[in-house]
């Protein structure tokens, strides 16, 4: 065996000295944190109440400066997302504390949590665990394999009790009892002695919190959660001659987040905020539970403001957002909005149908002139006996003021249309300087079976580098790069035909 040389021993001693210096630097760089033993992190165990108080602080530092106290905030977006700010009281010991922050939504994004102590700035969360292994019969049975349980089974003369060690639950229940192994199929109920370690009844954030001073303090928690979304719903009442509309707008908020938000200041963001959609695992109950419907009146309605590149609606009073609840809150009331009913033929959307559209401009002179969040417009009209009837609905997008709004109500019953296309005699594979040209003769025959004259807006779409409309018997306008619009009048109980030739070169 070779013995170490003097040089090798010197090198070894040098590395040992360097290692000691590194260890010394690590230990004494932050003695207040690093010198703590790992066991100290769970020395104190402070558990918050699983029920939120009726009034709790929900402020960030900036909110405190503005004097807003004893309030909670929920900002809901159109895209299954909400920002929640809430505060609760913690009684912390000096040093490390373990805090179980319960009653959080099951769809919380734990990586978005922001913690703040309003009294001591150096209080901080040094570790966070999100526990979401919720108790269920399936998970209880998994945990109780090789453990004793009671099973109550339906038999002809009543209920029979079995007690034994659980062997399997895949096809009924299999127990090892004092009298042997039994398989139980018709199960009435199962009794477990206690809740196994690791299973919880509600999602919980477990924090390791370092506090420089002991005592009670209000902590502010801000986080993002799924399961909260909103949209606008509009009800439009059309007058007898289809020229005026009374519009009622509602905000519809759906809460399936897994938590309730009492006494909340509600804000709604209208606009398409970019978010990265996570894969959310939902329980059976969350997927199929039907939210209850609650409607609220206009008292203390919304105020609207521009916010970044979106629009922000703030409710002027507090509200309660209960889990598995759908709430409607009044947004707007507008009367005598000028509208125009149009009959539209667009072969790209319906080859043989005339579409009925109701449109207006979102302007003050028409009776609106306010930003409209996206949502569903449902349109109603009174019949000859004064009974309200539903005549159609459509989805509108976010609409700024002074932009056009158009609602598709359905297809006209008493108007027929037929379109024919044939190769023009001009074609013959004529060559253009840039290539080949093709001519097509188009005829669109419209038959009006109504007792009044109508006008049909015909929309034709052509794609290509070079398109030209020739020999049309009605004037046309080019609405955009690909769309050509014709206005075709049709007499009562009559018909008319639009004729034109289109030249396309490529």
| 381-395 mean pLDDT | 97
> pLDDT at residue 259 above 60?
yes
What are the structural domains, with CATH classification, of the chain? 38-72+85-132+201-225 (no CATH), 137-191 (2.30.30), 228-411 (no CATH), 415-505 (2.60.40)
> Which pTM value belongs to this model?
0.73
Concatenate the DSSP letters of all residues of 160-214 into one string: EEEEEEEEE-TTSEEEEETTEEEEE-SEEEEE-SSPPTT-BSS-EEEEEEEESS-
At 36 the pLDDT is 34
Which pairing describes strands 228-238 and 244-255: parallel, antiparallel, or unpaired?
A: antiparallel
Query: Among 52-66, 82-96, 406-420, where is mean pLDDT lowest?
Result: 52-66
> Residue 435: pLDDT band by 50, 70, 90 thresholds?
low
CA dist., res. 336 & res. 333, Å (int):
10
At 48 the pLDDT is 41
Residue 259: name the closest of 52, 5, 114 by CA.
52
pLDDT digits (tens, 9 = 90+) for 456-505: 999 999 987 789 999 999 999 998 888 999 999 999 999 999 999 999 88
Its sign, for the CA torsion 406, 407, 411, 413, is negative
Contact 447, 354 (CB under 8 A): no
At 277 the pLDDT is 59
Helix (H/G/I), strand (E/B), else coil: 491: coil
pLDDT digits (tens, 9 = 90+) for 270-291: 988 887 755 344 443 344 344 4
At 268 the pLDDT is 96
> Residue 33: pLDDT band by 50, 70, 90 thresholds?
very low
Joined together, the tokens standing for residue 138 give: 């399936």
At 423 the pLDDT is 82
Residue predicted with more confidence, 278 or 391: 391
What are the backbone dihedrals phi and psi of residue 275, each rounded to the nearest 5 degrees, phi first?
-135, 150
Residue 303: name the closest of 271, 339, 329 by CA.
329
Joined together, the tokens standing for residue 78 give: 């159109």
> Residue 16: pLDDT band by 50, 70, 90 thresholds?
very low
Its sign, for the CA torsion 210, 215, 216, 217, is negative
Q: What is the mean pLDDT of the chain?
A: 83
> Residue 300: pLDDT band by 50, 70, 90 thresholds?
low
């Amino acid at each position: 065996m070779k013995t170490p040389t003097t040089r090798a021993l010197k090198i070894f001693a040098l590395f040992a000295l360097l290692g000691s210096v590194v260890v010394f630097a690590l230990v004494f760089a932050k003695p207040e944190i690093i010198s703590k033993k790992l066991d100290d992190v769970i020395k104190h165990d402070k558990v918050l109440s699983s029920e939120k108080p009726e009034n709790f602080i929900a402020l960030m530092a900036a909110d405190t400066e503005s004097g807003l106290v004893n309030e909670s905030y929920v900002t809901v977006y159109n895209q299954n997302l909400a920002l929640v700010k809430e505060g609760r009281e913690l009684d912390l010991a000096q040093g490390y504390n373990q805090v179980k922050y319960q009653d959080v939504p099951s769809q919380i994004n734990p990586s978005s949590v922001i913690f703040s102590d309003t009294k001591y700035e150096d209080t901080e969360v040094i570790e966070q665990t999100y526990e979401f292994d919720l108790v269920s019969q399936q998970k209880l049975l998994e945990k109780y394999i090789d453990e004793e349980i009671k099973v109550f089974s339906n038999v002809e003369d009543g209920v029979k009790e079995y007690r034994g060690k659980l062997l399997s639950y895949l096809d009924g229940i299999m127990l090892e009892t004092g009298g042997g192994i039994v398989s139980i199929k018709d199960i009435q109920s199962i009794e477990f002695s206690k809740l196994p370690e690791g299973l919880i009844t509600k999602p919980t954030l477990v924090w390791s919190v370092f506090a420089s001073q002991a005592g009670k303090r209000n902590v502010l928690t801000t986080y993002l959660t799924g399961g909260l979304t909103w949209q606008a719903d509009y009800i439009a009442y059309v007058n007898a001659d289809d020229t005026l509309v009374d519009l009622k707008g509602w905000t519809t908020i759906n809460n399936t987040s897994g938590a309730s938000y009492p006494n909340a200041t509600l804000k709604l963001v209208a606009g398409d905020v970019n978010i990265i959609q996570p894969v959310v695992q939902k329980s059976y109950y969350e997927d199929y539970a039907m939210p209850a419907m609650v409607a609220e009146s206009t008292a203390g309605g919304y105020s609207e403001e521009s916010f970044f590149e979106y629009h922000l609606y703030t409710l002027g009073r507090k509200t309660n957002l209960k889990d598995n609840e759908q709430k409607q809150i009044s947004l707007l009331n507008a009367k005598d909005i000028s509208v125009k009913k149009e009959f539209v033929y667009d072969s790209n959307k319906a080859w043989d149908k005339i579409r009925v559209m109701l449109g207006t401009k979102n302007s003050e002179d028409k009776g609106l002139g306010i930003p409209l969040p996206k949502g569903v417009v449902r349109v109603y009209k009174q019949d000859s006996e004064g009974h309200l009837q539903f005549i159609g609905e459509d989805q509108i997008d976010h609409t700024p003021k002074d932009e056009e709004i158009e609602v598709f109500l359905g297809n006209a019953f008493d108007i027929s249309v037929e379109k024919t296309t044939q190769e023009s005699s001009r074609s013959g594979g004529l060559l253009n300087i840039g290539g080949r040209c093709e001519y097509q003769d188009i005829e669109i025959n419209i038959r009006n079976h109504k007792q009044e004259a109508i006008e049909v807006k015909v929309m034709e779409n052509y794609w290509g580098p070079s398109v030209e409309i020739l020999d049309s018997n009605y004037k046309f306008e080019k609405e955009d790069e690909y769309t050509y619009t014709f206005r075709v009048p049709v007499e009562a109980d009559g018909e008319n035909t639009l004729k034109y030739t289109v030249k396309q070169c490529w």
